[in-house]
Homo-oligomer: A and B are copies of this chain.
Amino acid sequence: MIGVGVIGFGYWGPNLARNFHESGVSRLLRVCDLSKDRADLATRRYPTARVSTDPHDLLRDPQIDAVAIATPVSTHYELAMAALDAGKHVLVEKPIAASSEQAIRLIDKAAGKRLVLMVDHTFVYSGAVRKSRDLIDSGQLGTPLYFDSQRINLGLFQHDVNVVWDLAVHDLSILDSLIKLRPVRVSASGARHMLGQQENIAFLTLFFDSSFIAHINVNWLAPVKIRRSIIGGTEKMLVYDDLDVAEPVRIYDKGLQIKSGQEAVYEMLISYRWGDMWAPRVDRSEPLAVETRHFVDCINRSVDPQTDGKAGLRVVRALEAASKSLADGGRPVQIQSD
C-alpha cells in the first residue's frame, strides 16, 4: 500500500483524495489545504487522515510515499519540486507547470532521483479516449487527417490562467495521446471580454509536418457545456463526445471519398450522413480511478507513466506557442521541440 498525501482540497483535490482512499492499492494519509474551511471538510470526510494547512508538514511525513498536487498552476513547480526533493513520487494537476523551463527542471529532478513524475491529464485515462486510441492504433481509421475539438464551458471567469491554459490543455493532452505526430506550429486567436481579465475564448490551429491539422475551440463564456472531438481519417471518422453518456465514441464507416457523377453529388448534399455508424461499448470506469491506480502501479514497478513529465512538457510547449500567437492576432508561431 502506497501512502499518499493530497495537497489542495478545492475543486479537484477531493476527487484525488477519494480515489486514493478507495483504490485498494493506496492509503490516503494526509490532506493539506490553505483554507481552514476546506481543511475542515477534509477532516469530516476522512476522519482517519491527518489534515493540515501547511504542505510542509505533509512533505516531511516519512509515511508519505507519493504526493498529489491540486493547487493553482502558479504553485505547481514549487510544490512539485519540494515533493521530489523530499523523495516523494509526484502526481501534479494539469498543466504540469507554468512554463516549459519549469517542466524540464521537474523532469530532470525526477529522473535524477528515480521518482515517478506524472501529470494529471485525466481525459487520457477515460474509457472513451482509450478506446479511440485503440481504434486509431489498429489502423481502422486509416491515415488520420484532422482532429477538431470543441470544449466550451459555463461562464466562469475566476482563473489564474487564460482559457487556453485552462481548457485547451485538455484537448492538447488528448491529441498528444491519440496521435503520434507532433505539432510544429500554431496559429491562435481569441478575445478577452472582461476588463483586466485573461482571454476567455480562443481558437487554436496546430500545423504538422504533414497535411494533418488540428483545431481546438475553447470558451469559458458559453450557455451549454460542449466537449466533443472529431478525428477524421482516410477510412473512417470518429466522434468522441465526452458528455454523451450512452455513446461517447461513434465510428462512421466512410472516410475520404470522391463521388463521381452529378446525381450522386446532389444525393449527398441532401443526406445527413452516409455509411454505417458504430458505437462501441466503452469502459465507464471513472478516469481518475484508472489514473490513480496507474500512478501507484508505476511507482511499484518503477516505470514511466503514460502521461509522464515529457507529455506534460509537450503540452506546455504548445500552450506557450499558442499564447504568443494569441497575443499577435493569429500570426503562426513555432512550437519548441527537443
Contact = CB atoms under 8 A, between A and B. Distances in A.
Interface of A: 10-11, 21-22, 24, 35, 44-45, 47-48, 145-146, 148, 150, 152, 154-158, 185, 187, 189-194, 201, 203, 205, 207, 211-213, 215, 217, 219, 221-225, 230, 232, 237-239, 243, 245-247, 250, 252, 254-260, 262, 265-266, 268-269, 271-281, 284, 325, 329-332
Given A222-B237, A266-B10, A276 B276 contact: no
B259 A157 contact: yes
A201 B256 CA distance: 12
How many identical subunits does the complex contain?
4
27 contacts: A10-B262, A22-B44, A24-B44, A35-B262, A48-B48, A152-B230, A154-B268, A155-B257, A157-B256, A157-B257, A157-B258, A157-B259, A158-B260, A189-B207, A189-B213, A189-B332, A190-B205, A203-B203, A207-B329, A219-B232, A223-B239, A224-B246, A225-B272, A243-B245, A245-B245, A277-B278, A331-B332
A205 B189 contact: yes
Contacts of A203: 203, 205, 215
A146 B191 contact: yes
A221 B268 contact: no
Contacts of A273: 154, 223-225, 246-247, 281
Nearest to A21: B45
A123 to B, nearest CB: 15
